[in-house]
Structure 1
Amino acid sequence: MTQPTIRRAAVIGSGVMGSGIAAHLANSGIPCLLLDVAPAQLTEEEAKLGLTLEHPSVRNRLANAAIAKMKKTNPAPLYAEEFAQRITPGNLEDDLPRIAEADWVIEVIVEKLEAKRQLFGRIEPYWRPGIVVSSNTSGISINEMAKERSEGFRGHFMGTHFFNPPRYMKLIEIIPGHDTDPELVKRMKAFCETKLGKGVVLAKDTPNFIANRIGTYGMLAVLREMAEKGYTVEEIDAATGPAMGRPKSASMRTLDLVGLDTFEHVVDNVRNNVADPAEQALFETPEAVRELVKGGRLGEKSGAGFYCKRKGADGKNEILALDPATMEYRPQRKPSAGSLEASKQAKGTRAKIQALLGGGDRYSELAWNVLKRTLLYSASKAYEIADSIEEIDKAMRWGFNWELGPFETWDAIGLVPSAKRMAAEGESLPEWVAAWIAEGHTSFYSQEQGVRSYAHEGRWRKEEQRAEIVSLKGLKEQGRTIKGNGGASLIDLGDGVACLEFHSPNNAIGADILTMISQSVDEVRRNYEGLVIANEGRNFCVGANLMLLLMEAQEQEWEEIDGIIRQFQNAMLKLKRLEKPVVAAPHRMTLGGGVEACLPADLVVASPETYYGLVEVGVGLIPAGGGCKEFALRASESAASLPGSDVQPYVIRSFETIGMAKVSTSGHDAKKLGYLRETDRVAANPDHRIYEAKQAVLRMVQGGYEPVPERKLAVAGAEGKAVLTLGAIGMRESGYISDHDLKIAKKLAHVLAGGDLPAGTLVSEQYMLDLEREAFLSLCGEPLTQQRMQHMLTKGKALRN
């Protein structure tokens, strides 16, 4: 069976998940038909407009409303608002035949088996061979849904369980039915990974599949501990959040976000669909949840759940916590204990969990009991719900944002000692785990020369090695580091391409990174074909080392600051002048100096979730590592590309972007803001960006790469500076900015306009760098700027003084 390329899709159901899936298909460049039911009644507004039930805007009301909501929702489901144009609204009565035009039809209606069966019965008359049909169910049997359909339909049918919100959550569980073509499953997996940018796990058709099965059980274990041991809501979240390698929302806040009614439904789905009475008993919904749901306290969507937001006596919002004993809300009480503090101080997830468990207090006991139950349950269900423990670990990392999956967690706390403790406490290990330990194994995973293997059916199985997933950590373990220091390393990617990796705290740019940039340019010039700039940190780079700058400014070490900025500028200029291709591959937070480290590159291959911005004005400064210079250069080049065009409008745009510290909401948005060029790219899958960056380098080499010669740029000059300054003064007079903001804006205007030269004067890049550095130095000496720097370092947010 061949499976055509998916060029068009249809989503049936325009609720939160359906509209989110349609939005992400649009993000990925796939036109999508979004269908829902045709309303049976007019709204008051429609009646006032004289519309009838037959009017298209009425019949498509639900899909239209969903598309309109996409543009306003925060966090945004779309990479860019204009991508909504790729979604066509419709309704099931008029437009169902149009699914024949699609290559993939996704059902996203109510989680009821009979409703889904009926819908697939309506779909099949319009289905043609080759169309993939899938359900986004979170736990209903795939085989039961399709059992009344034809053999050909069942061969093209599967579950594709997206996690909410679809844009941001990495996981898709693909669940084949008994009759689903295995080759089609492989191709859909590859499509979801490469085109939708997702992490895909293959799940078996069991209740709630993988992530929801394990995650729901883990939540029940938490709620059981709370009920049996009298822990407070805050204590539960303190021990089961980052201290345990879980998200900040921990357990109770996560339940509120999910919705307690939704959680109850998911729990009931397992209990009603498993045969073992002992397991059914494990999936009894706790009394506290039932009482909250009965009272309409469903979590965040109803305004109250385990937490409740209310206005305090001072009129400000405050978050109250539920007292499980009284089921009433009270002010939160922040837990404090040695184990919690030790976990907070520990570096890395493994060390945090070990510190939490080793504290010897009630929180250590809570963490142990929750982990013990979750690990044992995961192991007991391992081969029932998935083909490997690796799939389970991926599902929990990608679907629930756990730092470590269950089996990785078990390794982190010590497989053998923890198993002995479990046995001493009367627990029974699953037979396969006991046999694995008896054979002398001390972990579920092993690492050798950068390649990881995992326990599988009594032997080691190597993880799949895929060319498009490059692991810098793995390459370093293979001895592929060319050179390095405390802040950065140069790594051999193979095929004559090197990678410059930042690994300082928060990947902040300091002297170590700048030195390594300079050394990397020399090394690549001598021995390599090109350079990639990328790393595997949580964020690409949050900017320069602000603490160092503040300390030097407070000590009035102006020569030291001048030297730091000169080193930064020289490193960026040296990178730009490298005679070999340079490709930057930023991801997530890429701010200030992080952007300036990418600006010299010939090409940028960004992650879809790249939050990119020159934000220096937020700490009372302006970009001085070449950021202003590069924007002025781009303005000059843009004007030169259109005969008779003036540079001024382009400079104004740059002034607004930098002066307002605009940060992109996605890689695509970075193009709209002018941070990325039209020639720059956004990788569909963030895990592939280093590979794609390397391939881009090789294509440039094969195409006969020629470095861009240094060119002079035309400046807006004194006239342009006056226009920019006037705009800033207007904002001050309107109360939008402070006096200090105005001072910063004037400095920025002076630099971007090229100083007080006549408009159109051609200047060198070095001239612009000198202007940057002078303005930066003068602002460092301002007490209000130093206050802003201090506030950012201590509070983590900008101060407007």
Structure 2
Amino acid sequence: MSKSIRKAVVIGSGVMGSGIAAHLANVGIACHLLDVVPGTLTPEEQAKGLTPQHPAVRSRLAAGAVARLAKTKPAPLYDESFAARITPGNLEDHLHVVGEADWVIEVVVENLQVKKELLRRVEEHWKPGTVVSSNTSGISINAMSADCGAEFKRHFLGTHFFNPPRYMQLLELIPGEHTDPQLLQDMKGFCSRVLGKGVVTAKDTPNFIANRIGTYGLLVTLQAMTEKGFTVEEIDAVTGPAMGRPKSATFRTLDLVGLDTFVHVANNVYENVTDEAEKQVFAVPGVLRTMVEKGWLGEKSGQGFYLKRKGEDGRSEILSLDLGTMDYRSQKKTGSGSLEAAKLAKGAREKVKALIGAGDKYSDLAWDILKLVLVYSAERLGEIADTVQEIDEAMRWGFNWELGPFETWDALGLVRSVNRMEAEGLTVPAWVKEWIEAGNRSFYRQEEGRTFYVHQGAYTALDQPKEVISLRALKERNKVVRSNSGASLIDIGDGIACLEFHSPNNAIGADILTMIGQSLEEVRRGFDGLVIANQGRNFCVGANLMILLMEAQDEEWEEIDGIIRLFQNTMYKVKRFEKPVVAAPHRMTLGGGVEACMPADRIVAAAETYYGLVEVGVGVIPAGGGCKELALRIARNNPHPDSDLQPYLNQVFETVGMAKVSTSGHDAKNLGLMTPGDRIVANQDHLIYEAKQSALQLVASGYEPVREEKFRVAGAEGKAVLTLGALGLRQGGYISDHDLHIAKKLAHVLAGGDVPAGTLVTEQYMLDLEREAFLSLCGEPKTQARMSHMLSKGKALRN
């Protein structure tokens, strides 16, 4: 990239503006957040004797938005301290900071005239070379900048962040007709690499890509529902995971987005397209208008298509709206052969095939919705985006579909589905028919580990940036060195191998532990370093709980002892390995997943990593080396013999004892579960590449393996302090008797047992304490009840 962005100005401090400013702060960009000067004083300001001219009053809107970031859920900031990177101000006193910025982002009300006037004011302070963008969900970029100067237009484009900006991967870049092509490429690279976004280039058309197709899909779904008499819950059962879509499906999604927002987006297309047939689809149905008039806007108003209320028994119940009567009622269970077939199928492609192919009323409903969305997407190719890839990526990243429209079409069978569409009287776009007539059977093709897609009548190679390493593609190119049912070792090039977990939920069992040991041997013989990473939904949810519970219920204590010894010994081998090991966790990384990362020389984590030792939730303590590693870190960070270990021990005890999980990779450092030297990567798609680079750096620096060391523990005195704290929680009613029992075991292990304070212990001594405590807790009926509850309900039991 030819330019760097270190300073930004965000204009507009509403939900989106403050969220964008927060995400810029997340990645280290200093940011000014500006808004209008308030017209009146608040009662609080009057009580303080402030005047309208006081700086605190004039910048109140932006300052209030920054203050609310720490309280907003889900958290916009990776770390609350990052709010200090945002400077609040106002448009009258501080607009001059535009002249100091590398990037100015306008995020004001969706009104063309308001945006044009603001751009005029921005241009007065603008310095040549500064990027200026509008965050709009559908207003024309060209119309917005029509009155601006030629050089300004070259540096102006649309940047459509999806809400919430931290979590939603999609960022649509919309160049105007005068936008510098090189600036567009520079911004695409910057937003991908630094902001961690999935970036697509959209055309300057109403609602761009994702909202254009997504809104169309929601409207034709509502139309099919009303025509055929389906209920709200039936529609959501069909249009959720069974179709490769999120659990929020159709109506929960609308409730989350807000019906007023959705109506605005639909109206934008209705008012700006000329094709009458398309216009009619985007005409907002009367039921939506009625709900907006009633104030039933979804979650932000407390009710929409769903309403949560407490029943007479005090339990919460979620009611659904009957569109016929406009009354809320209890939900009716939805089930059928097609839904069950989709549930049992593995992967989104097989799920949607099973759903459509089962031949019942829900299959027909799914087909009636999908066929229209697929044809509409094909009709819009060239108008809203240049490639099928960009349309598919926009829907996957923006609406969390597992398959984009053209990927879905391939899954259903392109030729077969087109024949069915035409038999049912649907007009399929000419370019699709020509593509089939040329002998092609899919929009995408895999060949020698590379992906090709249809573009301008021919297959074109998908050009992945070097930062994106696909383990699936490497496996297709026969780069697997060794594999079993739980994990594979893959050659990712440049002398580095990657150990990939692929067991169910990536849970650690004997198969993964065996493969770790075998992988170390393979790396010892033929590689320079090892990366532990995978591209599953989550990195690892912990150890295989089902096996542990079965063994405990059968009182097979030697078997459990053997499992834990294998886990401990394997992690010990990783830590002592003579070549560098880098762990690259992402998203849910819990329990044993954390313990699989801790022995690594370095952790390179995705920013969205939710990392925690949560074993107490199932009635045990960490026993794969987690307690030992935390105690070792405390001693290592306090090397002087007289330094007090207790404050740090207290913090670790609370973190593990309360099963705290980080809200980000940065927060994992705050919790002490990662070290200051560990790296955080914003773009999860770049994670394996960055981990590989870290491994290569360790190799180049002349890596030496970690040597075993004895270390100080807090001993019996430290254990007593921890136990006293747990007793206080029990007396206050915050924890149960079994929680207290577990806490005492945890205190015993973290403090190093009953030895005198300051005693030097070995790592093996600490591992033995872990294993003994774990085994004794496995024998507790209440622990077994917790394990069973977690397996059946997916959440912790507080017994």
Which bin holds the TM-score, normalised by the shorter protein? over 0.9
- Who is 1:482 aligned against? 481
Q: Distance in 1 between matches of 2:777 and 2:272?
A: 66
Deviations 1:364-383 (A, max 9, x none): 11100100000000000011
The alpha carbon displacement at 1:244 in A equals 0.5
Q: Distance in 1 between matches of 2:722 and 2:259?
A: 53
> Residue 310 of structure 1 aligns to which amino acid in structure 2?
R
> Residue 777 of structure 1 aligns to which amino acid in structure 2?
L
> Residue 711 of structure 1 aligns to which amino acid in structure 2?
E
Q: Distance in 2 between matches of 1:176 and 1:126?
A: 22
> Residue 169 of structure 2 aligns to which amino acid in structure 1?
K
Deviations 1:334-359 (A, max 9, x none): 21211111111111111111111122
SS at match of 2:10: strand
Matched, 1:787 2:785: yes
- Who is 1:716 aligned against? 714
The alpha carbon displacement at 1:318 in A equals 2.4
Q: Distance in 2 between matches of 1:312 and 1:749?
A: 42
SS at match of 2:469: coil
Q: Distance in 2 between matches of 1:717 and 1:311?
A: 49
- Who is 1:686 aligned against? 684
Q: Distance in 2 between matches of 1:40 and 1:87?
A: 23
SS at match of 2:589: strand
> Residue 45 of structure 2 aligns to which amino acid in structure 1?
E
The alpha carbon displacement at 1:257 in A equals 1.1
Q: Where do residues 307-326 of structure 1 align in structure 2 (5 Å cutoff)?
A: 307-326=306-325
RMSD, matched Cα: 1.0
- Who is 1:367 aligned against? 366
Residues 325-334 or 588-597, more deviating:
325-334
SS at match of 1:261: helix
Q: Distance in 1 between matches of 2:72 and 2:399?
A: 22
- Contact 1:638/1:647 (<8 A) preserved: no
The alpha carbon displacement at 1:743 in A equals 1.0
- Who is 2:124 aligned against? 125
- Contact 2:59/2:89 (<8 A) preserved: yes
Q: Distance in 2 between matches of 1:766 and 1:91?
A: 60
Residues 288-297 or 29-38, more deviating:
288-297
TM-score (norm 2): 0.99
Residues 312-321 or 780-789, more deviating:
312-321
Q: Where do residues 85-100 of structure 1 align in structure 2 (5 Å cutoff)?
A: 85-100=84-99
- Contact 2:541/2:591 (<8 A) preserved: yes
The alpha carbon displacement at 1:49 in A equals 1.6
TM-score (norm 1): 0.99
- Who is 1:621 aligned against? 620
- Who is 1:762 aligned against? 760
> Residue 731 of structure 2 aligns to which amino acid in structure 1?
E
- Who is 1:772 aligned against? 770
The alpha carbon displacement at 1:309 in A equals 2.4
Q: Distance in 1 between matches of 2:550 and 2:785?
A: 12
SS at match of 1:33: strand
- Who is 2:143 aligned against? 144
SS at match of 2:33: strand
- Who is 1:521 aligned against? 520
Deviations 1:268-322 (A, max 9, x none): 1111111222221221111111111122222221122212223333344322211
Q: Where do residues 228-243 of structure 1 align in structure 2 (5 Å cutoff)?
A: 228-243=227-242
- Contact 1:358/1:364 (<8 A) preserved: yes
Q: Distance in 2 between matches of 1:588 and 1:375?
A: 31
- Who is 1:550 aligned against? 549
Deviations 1:94-114 (A, max 9, x none): 111111111101011111111
- Who is 2:667 aligned against? 669
> Residue 706 of structure 1 aligns to which amino acid in structure 2?
E
SS at match of 2:389: helix
SS at match of 2:92: helix
Q: Distance in 2 between matches of 1:620 and 1:3?
A: 54
Q: Distance in 2 between matches of 1:44 and 1:80?
A: 32
SS at match of 2:288: helix
The alpha carbon displacement at 1:12 in A equals 0.6
- Who is 1:331 aligned against? 330
The alpha carbon displacement at 1:643 in A equals 6.8
- Who is 1:746 aligned against? 744
Residues 44-53 or 72-81, more deviating:
44-53
- Contact 1:638/1:650 (<8 A) preserved: no
Matched, 1:417 2:401: no
- Contact 1:499/1:531 (<8 A) preserved: yes
The alpha carbon displacement at 1:757 in A equals 1.1
The alpha carbon displacement at 1:226 in A equals 1.2
Deviations 1:193-236 (A, max 9, x none): 11101010000111110001110111111011012111111111
- Contact 2:137/2:208 (<8 A) preserved: yes
Deviations 1:692-749 (A, max 9, x none): 1101111111111111211111111111111111111111111111111111111111
Q: Distance in 2 between matches of 1:368 and 1:35?
A: 48
Q: Where do residues 198-213 of structure 1 align in structure 2 (5 Å cutoff)?
A: 198-213=197-212
> Residue 707 of structure 1 aligns to which amino acid in structure 2?
P
Deviations 1:752-792 (A, max 9, x none): 11111111111111111111111110111111111111111
- Contact 2:715/2:756 (<8 A) preserved: yes
- Contact 2:175/2:184 (<8 A) preserved: yes
Q: Distance in 2 between matches of 1:154 and 1:318?
A: 53
Matched, 1:653 2:651: yes
Identical aligned pairs, as a percentage?
69
Q: Distance in 2 between matches of 1:315 and 1:549?
A: 36
Q: Structure 2: which 5+ runs fail to align? A: none
SS at match of 1:34: strand
Q: Distance in 2 between matches of 1:101 and 1:557?
A: 68
- Who is 1:797 aligned against? 795
Q: Distance in 1 between matches of 2:136 and 2:65?
A: 20
> Residue 747 of structure 1 aligns to which amino acid in structure 2?
K
The alpha carbon displacement at 1:130 in A equals 0.9
- Who is 2:452 aligned against? 453
Q: Where do residues 218-233 of structure 1 align in structure 2 (5 Å cutoff)?
A: 218-233=217-232
Q: Distance in 2 between matches of 1:591 and 1:636?
A: 24
- Contact 1:3/1:130 (<8 A) preserved: no
- Contact 2:9/2:31 (<8 A) preserved: yes
- Contact 2:607/2:666 (<8 A) preserved: yes
Residues 303-312 or 368-377, more deviating:
303-312
SS at match of 2:734: coil
Residues 63-72 or 407-416, more deviating:
63-72
Matched, 1:288 2:292: no
- Contact 1:714/1:763 (<8 A) preserved: yes
SS at match of 1:128: coil
- Who is 1:194 aligned against? 193
Aligned length: 799
> Residue 183 of structure 2 aligns to which amino acid in structure 1?
L
Q: Distance in 1 between matches of 2:795 and 2:306?
A: 26
SS at match of 1:161: strand
Q: Distance in 2 between matches of 1:493 and 1:793?
A: 35
The alpha carbon displacement at 1:552 in A equals 0.4
SS at match of 1:776: helix
> Residue 344 of structure 1 aligns to which amino acid in structure 2?
K
- Who is 1:257 aligned against? 256
The alpha carbon displacement at 1:615 in A equals 0.5
- Contact 1:201/1:395 (<8 A) preserved: yes
Which runs of structure 1 show a deviation greater than 3 angstroms over 4 or more consecutive aligned residues? 314-317
Q: Distance in 1 between matches of 2:454 and 2:687?
A: 29
Q: Distance in 2 between matches of 1:236 and 1:335?
A: 9
- Contact 2:3/2:186 (<8 A) preserved: no
> Residue 103 of structure 1 aligns to which amino acid in structure 2?
D
- Who is 1:639 aligned against? 638
The alpha carbon displacement at 1:653 in A equals 1.8
- Contact 2:598/2:626 (<8 A) preserved: yes
The alpha carbon displacement at 1:118 in A equals 0.8
- Who is 2:356 aligned against? 357
> Residue 402 of structure 1 aligns to which amino acid in structure 2?
W
> Residue 277 of structure 1 aligns to which amino acid in structure 2?
E
- Who is 1:73 aligned against? 72
The alpha carbon displacement at 1:3 in A equals 5.6
Q: Distance in 2 between matches of 1:122 and 1:466?
A: 38
Deviations 1:386-419 (A, max 9, x none): 1100000000000000000000000011101000
- Who is 1:38 aligned against? 37
- Contact 2:591/2:612 (<8 A) preserved: yes
